[in-house]
Amino acid sequence: MRAGNSAKTVKEIRIDIEKCTGCRACEMACSAFHAKPRYSSVNPARSRIRVVTDEINDEYVPVRAGNHTRTECDGRHFYQLNGKQYGECSFCRAACPSRDFFIEPDSGLPLKCDMCEDEPPLAEPLCVTVCQPGCLTYEERRLEAEINEPEEREAMENGLQSLVNQHGIEAVIDNLKRLSKGQ
């Protein structure tokens, strides 16, 4: 790494919905990990990952908690994937008034995936570890950016954060990747 450069590690969890068995071990583990004291209880309603399931339609979509939205979106779309119909909410990571996902059952506050922050850090997020069917996989990527001044960095982070808020982290990362390849 060159001096003056700062590297940011982007942690991501990839989801292969075809591999999901609907076992909800991820929900169990996430809720136990965030229980106080740790592992003292299980309650999927507190999990930061929820599996949208509809057995009759063969729909199994694990979703991790993202940002809170104050209103539900209107004019939602439906998607046709492999002959099955999915509602937009099936993939949505928002804590939203239209459903009770990612809302702390006692306080009503939104829940957010923290990638199992811990000291010392876990080798990988717990939901990934317990996902034996291999539907969830962990990925770490290093993003390098040239930074000159601390102020500038802060400004840049704020800017990035607002982009993330607007477009979602994936979209921002994809764009940055494209830019870094000089396209």
List residues binding ligand SF4 (CB under 6 A).
20-26, 29-30, 33, 48-49, 51, 62, 64, 69, 72-73, 76, 88-89, 92, 94, 96, 98-99, 113-116, 125-127, 130-131, 133, 135-136
Among 13, 49, 60, 111, binds another protein (CB under 8 A): 60
Pick between residue 124 and residue 169 the one whose CB is nearest to another protein.
Answer: 124
Shortest Å distance, C-beta 147 to another protein: 40
Q: Give the contacts of 46 (CB within 8 A, at least 6 positions apart).
A: 30, 31, 34, 35, 104, 105, 111
The phi and psi torsions of 156 (rounded to 5 degrees) equal: -65, -40
Please identify which residue in the block is written with the tokens 């800017």: 159
- Evaluate the CA torsion angle 43, 60, 123, 164 in order and state its sign: negative
Q: Give the contacts of 73 (CB within 8 A, at least 6 positions apart).
A: 88, 96
Pick between residue 2 and residue 77 the one whose CB is nearest to ligand SF4.
Answer: 77
Q: Which stretch binds another protein (CB under 8 A): 31-39, 116-124, 138-146, 164-172?
A: 31-39
